[in-house]
Structure 1
Amino acid sequence: MSAKNVIEDLKQRKLLKQVTNEEKVLDAQNKKKSVYCGFDPTADSLHVGHLIQLLNLKRFSKFGFNPIAIIGGATAMIGDPSFKSQERILLDIKVVNENIKGILLQIKKLIPEVSILNNADWLNKITLIDFLRDIGKHFNLANLLAKDNISSRIEKGLSITEFSYTMLQAYDFSHLYKNYDCMVQIGGSDQWGNITSGTDYISSLYGSANSKACGLTINLLTKKDGVKFGKTESGTIWLDKNKTSEYEFYQFFLNQDDQDCETLLNYLTLLPVEEIKSILESHTKEPHKRIAQKKLSEEMTKFVHGEEGYQKALEISTAFFSGDLASLNKEHLLSLFQTFDIIKVESGLNILDFLIKTQIVSSNREGRELLRDKAISISFMNDFTQDFVIDENSLLVDSFLLVKKGKKKYFVVELVS
């Protein structure tokens, strides 16, 4: 049965962690108020760890809220200490501004209906004295020190700089409450302390009986082995296709474990709960077909990269696993190459030296045997003499060539002068 309100929907999906006041959230929904979530620009792209909050802004929008995304142009200069083991490295203002450009475009593309604001527009106007007199006086030190996100860092060391972060975020909420009719703040479970700082601050400004401010947190998305979602051996999975190709993004979701699919479909898609249950039932009957993973990877790739990106990922996947890479165009090949560790080697080597230097083979003997059996192909050619020279004539795309060893092992090599 479809949820009648956002709280019910979050509970059905097992998303809801904590909420300050359910009635206030529902009242805000009924009155079509605004909801916000913050994104600090600590990199020039968002990653899959941000998807849950992006989808939640869209989820709230479906229930009548006006979504607001705050880019932390000011707070990124401070760094949120919440549950971090050590202090963040402070970012340069030029780096922050460059990061903002990339993130702003991503959010607008993914959630066209969202209003995007930069908290530097108001926080940078506040002087230190004004902050201490007009804002700091509303915060009780004992209450702040009791918050888990702050107390967890006290023993390891917490600077005044980082300590001030929760007050700055609270001021953000009050600014939106006053100027943008924003009654609800959402965030990950690590944001509970910061969110309640905001609701407490607004209550102190307007009185507890009058304040409509409320907030909620979402359960942390972890895999069955307890590892934080989005962390892989090869590194971060970015939303920028130039950092993580559409194919690699698609494969990341396609390769999720069966036991994680229910959570991921509920947390990261807007599919109705009933449809998710139906998908999981079909998957259970024929797990070898990977129905759940295919639907998950389709939904996520379409959300981030659109229909065109999804089709591109499908075409590359089909060609790669069928061994028909020759059917791919230049753009698709370069996208596929992004997923490989690129081996660099100088041009002009004979084929045996080339195979040894790139560590594609371990000995001249192995190389000679593979060449004799035509088990080495370079840029889709496999008929070589031992004195064949690897140079610009061997290139497949730009400065790259593709080496296939045996039936399934591929290597991408870049020739350098």
Structure 2
Amino acid sequence: MKIYDELVWRGLVKDVSSPDLEEKLNNGGMTFYIGTDPTGDSLHIGHFSSFLISKRLKEAGHNPILLVGGATGLIGDPKPDSERPMITKETVDHNFACLKKQAQDIFGFEVVNNYDWSKDLNFIDFLRDYGKFFNINYMLSKDVVKRRLDDGITYTEFSYMIMQALDFAWLFENKDCTLQVAGQDQWGNITAGIELIRKKIGGQAYGFTMPLLTKSDGTKFGKSEGKAIWLDREKTSPYEMYQFFINAEDTKVIDYLKFLTFLSVEEINELEQSHQSEPHLRKAHQALAHSVITFLHGQEAYDEAVNMSKMLFSGNISSLSYDQVAVLFDGVESVEISEDLNILDCLIAVKAASSKREAREFVNNGSVLINGTKIQDLEFVVSKENAFDKKATVIRRGKKKYVVIKHI
């Protein structure tokens, strides 16, 4: 299957600037860029799909460039509903360094910073050399601008489109870059760059967008209980990533396989058939988690995530390290305790039981586990000495109620 046909099959093509682009993509040899602003110090799953498109194109014979916007990051791409908060130059520089290293480590792309060619451009030159090529009516017609007009949009945000177009023109002239790839929300900025190259340089450039990766309700994919799923394992552990993918929506998991993995058409079709006939086996979810985690962090990280998940499901967590416990129960209710407590008093203290009578019933019924071990001794003492590295004790009552004691 040719690269353009594969991108279409995977649902990765939304808007295309020219019908000529299909042939050019299939023939290889284009230099293209994909951009992101350094608003954070790590990429997240929302970026991952577009970065994989870049890798797909590279394997088809094209040359990728990653632009991290040290200049545009100081301005802020207009949001549909509000102005982005400004971030400091120091924060932008720090984030740029982090994203550059991450992108090079994971994908091996060339990374450029638009601050390098934007910092010396003065305001008069900006207006004379670039502003004159932009028609206000054209800029006002862009979706994100139109949606903000009633509530107001600042000149700073309004100028973002020109800055991104300037980036495309600079890369066209200095890197022979003729293609920009981005999410569908960047279509107006892409076409602005194509027009600037045509009017100012007399060149022909191209662009295409990909659909945003979303959940079934239309919200952006990549959030778990309000937290982004980061590619940096220090921000999102392989275990957390595994849980995120293994619990992905059944109705969307095949789409996610197409967007986020290099599994072949045949492999994905086979997984889709299994998903339809035996959804309880969750083979598609397992394949999704395995593909993403091993790509980012390796097989060992995936195996550890699976083992931790099995331990949590079985309740047998006694062999975990404290660091693994900290990851496994991140976000679980925790209570600080500074003294040793009898098991009954402890259950009351952490609100796992409302009274000694109820606590006694839980213990006698065998529904209380301390660090993965069932406790039926009413005289058992919960102490720092028996905790994970003398730092934490995990109490499980029943199948789902967990509380972490932090010993102080």
TM-score category by the smaller chain? over 0.9
Check 1:141–1:407 CA distance in 2 against 1; reply closer, same or farther (3 A cut): closer
Give the structure 2 partner of residue 124 of structure 1: 119
2:105 aligns with one of 84, 90, 109 = 109
- Taking the aligned partners of 1:263 and 1:385, their CA distance within structure 2 comes to 51
Measure the CA separation in 1 of the matches of 2:54 and 2:389.
41
Name the residue aligned to 1:33: 30
RMSD: 2.1
Q: Is the CA contact (8 Å cut-off) linking 2:318 and 2:373 kept in structure 1?
A: no
Tell me the SS of whatever aligns to 1:16.
coil
Work out the CA distance in 1 between the residues paired with 2:16 and 2:324: 45
Please say if residues 384 and 392 of structure 2, whose CA atoms lie closer than 8 Å, have aligned partners that are also in contact. Answer: no
1:231 positional shift: 2.5
| 1:137 aligned onto 2:132 | yes
For 1:176, the equivalent position in structure 2 comes to 171
> 2: CA distance between counterparts of 1:185 and 1:46?
19
Q: Which blocks of at least 5 consecutive residues in structure 2 are unaligned?
A: none
**Higher mean displacement: 345-354 or 220-229:** 345-354
Is 1:350–1:386's contact at 8 Å kept on the other side of the alignment?
Answer: no
Structure 1 counterpart SS, 2:395: strand
> CA separation of 1:95/1:70 partners in 2, compared to 1, >3 Å: closer, same or farther?
same
Q: Which amino acid aligns with 2:172?
A: Y
Query: Unpaired segments of 5 or more residues in structure 1?
Result: none
**Residue identity opposite 2:86 in structure 1:** L
TM-superposed CA distance for 1:387, in Å, is 7.1
Correspondence for 2:290: 298
For these two proteins, the number of residue pairs brought into alignment is 407
For residue 250 of structure 1, report the CA deviation from its aligned partner.
0.9
- Match of residue 350, structure 1, among 319, 336, 341: 341
**Residue-by-residue CA offset, 1:57-92 (whole Å, 9 max, x unaligned):** 11111111111111111111111004x200011011
Q: Partner of 1:68: helix, strand, or coil?
A: strand
Q: Which residue of 2 aligns with 1:370?
A: 362
Q: 1:405 to 1:176 in 2, by over 3 A?
A: same
Q: Tell me how far 1:384 sits from its aligned partner.
A: 7.6
| 2:361 equivalent to 1:379 | no
For 1:227, give the aligned amino acid: T
2: CA distance, partners of 1:104 / 1:353: 52
Map of 1:65-80 to 2, 5 A cutoff?
A: 65-80=62-77
Q: Deviations over 1:341-378 (max 9, x none)?
A: 25131311524443333222233332232234453232
1:313 is aligned to 2:305? yes
**Structure 1, residues 357-409: CA drift from partner, whole Å, max 9, x if none?**
32222333322322344532323455587676544314214622211213453
Q: Which residue of 2 aligns with 1:97?
A: 93
Q: Deviations over 1:155-197 (max 9, x none)?
A: 1110011111111111111111111121110111100011111
Compared CA separation, residues 255 and 382, structure 1 to 2 (3 A): closer
Percent identity, aligned pairs only?
40
Matches within 5 A, 1:7-406: 7-24=4-21, 26-27=23-24, 30=27, 32-82=29-79, 84-112=80-108, 114-207=109-202, 211-338=203-330, 340-348=331-339, 350-351=341-342, 352-383=344-375, 390-397=382-389, 399-406=391-398
Counterpart residue type for residue 62 of structure 2 = F
* 1:201-239 superposed Cα distances (whole Å, 9 cap, x missing partner): 1111122xxx23110111122222333212232522222
Partner SS state of residue 104, structure 2: helix
Contact 1:345 1:357 in 2 (8 A): no
Q: Which moved more, 1:220-229 or 1:20-29?
A: 20-29
Q: Distance in 2 between matches of 1:151 and 1:272?
A: 40
2-structure distance, mates of 1:117, 1:140: 29
Evaluate the alpha carbon distance shift between residue 284 and residue 381 of structure 1 in structure 2; reply closer, same or farther with a 3 A threshold: closer
More moved, 319-328 vs 237-246 = 319-328
